[in-house]
Amino acid sequence: MRRRLLVTVMVLVATVLVGLGVPLAVTGARAATQRLFQDRLIDTVRFASLAQRPLVENDLSSFTQDIRRYDEVHDITVALVVRGPIVLTGSRPLDGLPDPDRVGAALAGRRSEPYPTVWPWQSDPMLLAEPVVVDGDVRGAVVTVSPTGATRENLLVEWLVVLVGAVIALGLAALGALPVVRWIMRPVQRLDTAMVQVASAALSGRPVEPVGEIVGPPELRRLTRTFDQMTAEVSRVLATQRAFVADASHQLRNFLQALRSRMVNLAGGGVGGPGGMNAPGEEYGAAMEELDRLERVLFELLELAKAEGSPTDLHLVDLDAAVAKSFETWQVLAEDGGVRLCKEGITGLSTYAPAGAMDNVLDPLLDNAIKFSPAGTEITVRIDLDQRLVDDPYVVLTVCDHGPGMPANELERATDRFWRSPNQHNVDGTGLGLAIAQAHARRCAGDLQLELPEGGGLRVVVRLPAAASPNGDTAMLEAL
């Protein structure tokens, strides 16, 4: 590809040189012909004037001497002819006139016309003829026959200089174009290599090495950045799918094995056992519990897969309304556990999120908080505005409970799929709630972190990009 581009550049440069060189050569030939014509025309007209008196006096001796001396000095043949045409005298013997038409035109009284362009490959001499007019009558014509060898040699030299200059320019263009072509083609070559590697790397689970090209035209650099973003997204999606399949297969295998054991016992192993006729009922209840857990895991796995998928259209979400909706959903369960739900912070804040994303962020957090909060405590949902970055403010949504919390070394693992604290295995759950909440927070261009507040419990901090409130940004600032 680099070679083809270089050849294309050289062809373009050669075309430009030919387009400039050929007109230059033609113009030079025409200019040299015009100079030679003007120089010879002046001498021809002068000899035509000198020939008037010798023709009248019928004495050509002095004229013949003049033209012979001129011929000896300039190597130009001069002759005086009359109608016929007949050569009366000349600076040297003439076997014939090379251009009888011009001689005939001069004997008819017409002046010499501009001469055709002399080309290096022509060898004909330049013949000019001027009429000799005495008292208004054309008495004859003076003819000059000039060799064109010197002019043709000069033209060849000029053309050779132009050709050498064109070759040098072409060589310089090649030397200059080579690094430019390399500069242009380097991102393309890197992209070509990356395209070959991306499929195998992505499918095998290996990270795709980014092109990361920092040289080349701006358009190609933008293309490489877009390509890197695309390959990173493809790798992320494939990794998510692999993790989803691995997690789903592992968890479902466990539930199916437990369900199979329950069904085997229900089929006959438990009928004659110590439990008597009640054993099948117990096994049936346990099997239904396993089915409930299986259904819950499947639902949450699908929700997690949806959260980790591609971003969807964002909508303006009123955070006060979203919290109120979640409170309404979980209020009954909180009252059953003797827990009170309360909201604090700034009102009127909003963010952009996909449809249903805020519900999927708040519901797992409130579910966990209610599940682990002792009776008589409260769960606080607080909304604040972080404006440390004026051009990029964030809404900070925190859910704080007064439950047992967890050790500090487990905070980072708590958002992993299916991870559960060793101290909480007796609590019903799938270990997917915090992972789902974090995935939906990231869909909103935010993030989720766990903290241990003073006084015990657990605080979940969700940071989301702030959007304008219904009354505009000014209303948000006045709320502070």
Q: Which of 96, 125, 155 is the last residue of a domain?
A: 155
d(CA 368, CA 433): 8
Token pair listed for 444: 């909103």
Whether 183 is covered by a domain: the verdict is: no
Please report, rounded to a whole number, the percentage of residues in the chain having pLDDT higher than 70: 67
Q: Where are the beta strands (DSSP E) in 102-222?
A: 126-134, 137-146
Whether 272 is covered by a domain: the verdict is: no
pLDDT value at residue 205: 59
Range 332-336, long-range pairs (CB < 8 A, 24+ positions): 333/370, 334/366, 334/370, 334/379
pLDDT value at residue 215: 64
Q: CA-CA-CA-CA torsion for 471, 475, 479, 480, nearest 10 degrees?
A: 140
Q: Where are the beta strands (DSSP E) in 213-338?
A: 314-318
Count CB-CB contacts under 10 A for residue 220.
19
More confident of the two residues 109 and 261: 109
pLDDT digits 0-9 by tens, 348-362: 999 988 887 888 889
CB 307 within 8 A of CB 440: yes
pLDDT digits 0-9 by tens, 29-69: 888 888 888 888 898 899 888 888 888 888 888 888 998 99
Residue 250's pLDDT band (cuts 50, 70, 90): low
For 36, the enclosing helix (H) or strand (E) is helix 2-50
Whether 413 is covered by a domain: the verdict is: yes
Mean pLDDT of the chain: 77
Residue found under tokens 């809404």: 395
Whether 384 is covered by a domain: the verdict is: yes
Whether 203 is covered by a domain: the verdict is: no
Whether 416 is covered by a domain: the verdict is: yes
Residue 472's pLDDT band (cuts 50, 70, 90): very low
Q: Which of 38-47, 76-85, 209-218, 407-416 has the lowest mean pLDDT?
A: 209-218
Q: Which of 65-79, 310-324, 330-344, 392-406 has the lowest mean pLDDT?
A: 310-324
**At 123, is the secondary structure helix, strand, or coil?**
coil
For 75, the enclosing helix (H) or strand (E) is none
Residue 125 has pLDDT above 60, yes or no: yes
pLDDT value at residue 475: 37
For 159, the enclosing helix (H) or strand (E) is helix 149-204
CA-CA distances (angstroms) from residue 440 to 15, 276, 304, 412, 433? 60, 49, 8, 17, 11
Average pLDDT estimate for 17-27? 77
Residue 297's pLDDT band (cuts 50, 70, 90): low
Max Cα–Cα distance, the chain, nearest Å: 165
Q: Which of 155, 184, 208 is the last residue of a domain?
A: 155
Q: For residue 336, what is the domain's CATH number?
A: 3.30.565.10
CA-CA distances (angstroms) from residue 247 to 161, 297, 433? 78, 10, 14
Question: Cis (ω within 30 of 0) for the bond into 85?
Answer: yes
> Which residue from 166, 170, 113, 108 is spatially nearest to 133, judged by alpha carbons?
108
- With 0.95 as the threshold, say if the pTM is over it: no
pLDDT value at residue 107: 84
CB 47 within 8 A of CB 112: no
Residue 284's pLDDT band (cuts 50, 70, 90): low
pLDDT value at residue 277: 43
d(CA 76, CA 128): 11
Q: Which of 105, 120, 155 is the last residue of a domain?
A: 155
Task: Residue 440: give the domain boundaries.
Answer: 311-479
Residue 279 has pLDDT above 80, yes or no: no
Residue 258 CA from chain centroid, whole number = 55
Q: How many domains does the chain have?
A: 2
Residue 158 has pLDDT above 50, yes or no: yes
Residues 414, 420, 426, 432, CA torsion sign: positive
> Which residue from 151, 113, 128 is spatially nearest to 29, judged by alpha carbons?
151
Whether 456 is covered by a domain: the verdict is: yes
Q: For residue 103, what is the domain's CATH number?
A: 3.30.450.20
**At 341, is the secondary structure helix, strand, or coil?**
strand
The region that residue 212 occupies, defined by phi over 0 for left and psi between -120 and 50 for alpha, beta otherwise, is: left
Whether 245 is covered by a domain: the verdict is: no
Average pLDDT estimate for 222-239? 74
